[in-house]
Amino acid sequence: MDVDKYINDTLATVVERNPHENEFHQAVEEVFHSIKPVLTQHLEYIDAKILERISEPERVIMFRVPWVDDQGEIQINKGYRVQFNSAIGPYKGGLRWHPSVNLSILKFLGFEQTFKNALTGIPMGGGKGGSNFDPHGKSDGEIMRFAQSFMSELYRHIGAETDVPAGDIGVGGREIGYLFGMYKKLANEFTGVLTGKGLTFGGSNIRPEATGFGVVYFLAEALKARDDGIEGKRILVSGAGNVAQYAVQKVIQMGGKVLTMSDSSGMVYDPDGIDEEKLAFIMELKNVKRGRIKEFAEKYPSVEYHEGQKPWGVPADIALPCATQNEVELPDAKALIANGATYLVEGANMPTTPEAIEALQEAMVIYVPGKASNAGGVSVSGLEMSQNALKAQWSREVVDEKLQEIMRNIHQKVAEHGEDAQGNIDYMQGANIAGFLKVAEAMLAQGLV
């Protein structure tokens, strides 16, 4: 059996059947290439057409979302839910509201989510959804009316044992609250159908922090594997949203120095390092006032603002991209390498382009894919589902301890499958193989469904 040819032929079919879905092709290509050693040893996966099946979502739901803006004008958006794979548990994955949202982006995210969720050790399948709705500049009333309209269709497709959405870009605690309220009204039941809920109505402690904290816990494990630590490291963070904020907070707590953050307009560079007080200002700015990151530079004179720029040109030891897909391109990777960076750990989903990954790996920069390093968010979502099922609420300390343990276990699993004879860990290969094996085994066992 020529496994290379099989992989290439299958990829060609994926591209042909899903035309113009570049992000989806990119995500599938990365996984298929890195699982070659597994396929060579398990020809039964090829016979059972696991690759062909795993790259086709089980179900895609698309719907109209009509709503009325503050001027009384009717607006129409597209709504989606991609139920990608339920081999190991109910579909689970976030909702993204951003003008760039389309089927390609949600299929790439749902595909990635399937393997990420397998790595967590919690029984959750993969899904993703969202809308091309742009929350920027919308009033609370507009956000609520949009959320209610979105849920008035979505509610018939989800459920605590079927599909459990959460937040993602543009969907945070406020939006989950409105979505949950509408679900409860329509379904007439109070169940754990969404995660990321408020603490007063079934949410989990540490869920807002989980993705960012988890990224830094994973980074600490990766550093530890090379007898190193976060203390004193200069760290670049992109984004200023949920993942970025809590990654910055944990880096500060662990003694690292965060030099940058950013939003979709530009980046801020603080040569003194962002401390707890400055971070509190950014959190208020982004979560309450819903302002722009440049206002941070206006408040603190030592901070520089660079309109339209990304953080990757600033000399540092570690990069944590926490904004969006394909935000680290080849020239950015070259800049990181030239400045002596030694780690890139993804907080966002697929923030690094394939060319950039190749350049980083060639330069021996440790590259950790988001499906391993940002799995802390969905892990605590899984813990939120457990607490809802038990009608219980665990303390911050208990959830944080469980999160740390999950991130350590993911690191161990990924290292097991990605370590070479010299003891170097290929985190991309390890994550893809460990995630794939679990899902593929479950699919084989359940027959052709």
Contact footprint for ligand NDP (CB under 6 A): 167-170, 172, 211, 239-244, 263-265, 322-324, 347-349, 374, 377
Q: How far is the CB of 333 from ligand NDP (least distance, A)?
A: 17
Q: Which is nearer to ligand NDP, 297 or 348 (CB)?
A: 348
Cα separation, 365 vs 357, in Å, equals: 9
Q: How far is the CB of 238 from ligand NDP (least distance, A)?
A: 7
Catalytic-role residue among 92, 128, 233, 438: 128
Token look-up 């040893």 returns 41
Q: Which is nearer to ligand NDP, 127 or 239 (CB)?
A: 239
- According to DSSP, the β-strands at 366-368 and 266-269 are unpaired
Q: Which is nearer to ligand NDP, 243 or 440 (CB)?
A: 243
CB 352 within 8 A of CB 360: yes
Q: Is 310 a catalytic residue?
A: no
Helix 207-224 with 396-418: angle, nearest 10 deg: 40
Indicate the DSSP class of residue 87.
Answer: S
β-pair partners for 258: 235
Q: How far is the CB of 276 from ligand NDP (least distance, A)?
A: 19
Q: How far is the CB of 241 from ligand NDP (least distance, A)?
A: 2
Q: How far is the CB of 207 from ligand NDP (least distance, A)?
A: 8
Indicate the DSSP class of residue 199.
Answer: G
Helix 103-120 with 22-34: angle, nearest 10 deg: 30
Token look-up 């509610």 returns 155
Q: Which is nearer to ligand NDP, 187 or 330 (CB)?
A: 330
Q: Which is nearer to ligand NDP, 177 or 347 (CB)?
A: 347
Q: How far is the CB of 227 from ligand NDP (least distance, A)?
A: 29
Helix 22-34 with 427-445: angle, nearest 10 deg: 90
The residue number with the shortest CB distance to ligand NDP is 241
Q: Which is nearer to ligand NDP, 319 or 322 (CB)?
A: 322
Q: How far is the CB of 49 from ligand NDP (least distance, A)?
A: 29
Cα separation, 376 vs 82, in Å, equals: 21
CB 367 within 8 A of CB 361: yes
Q: Which is nearer to ligand NDP, 349 or 352 (CB)?
A: 349
Any residues with CB less than 8 A from the CB of 71 and at least 6 apart, and which?
none
Token look-up 């935000």 returns 327
> Letter for the amino acid at 297?
A
What is the separation, in whole angstroms, between the first and last Cα of the chain?
26
Two tokens, residue 438 = 């679990």
How far from 270 is each of 35, 274, 333, CA to CA, in Å? 41, 6, 21
Cite the active site residues.
128
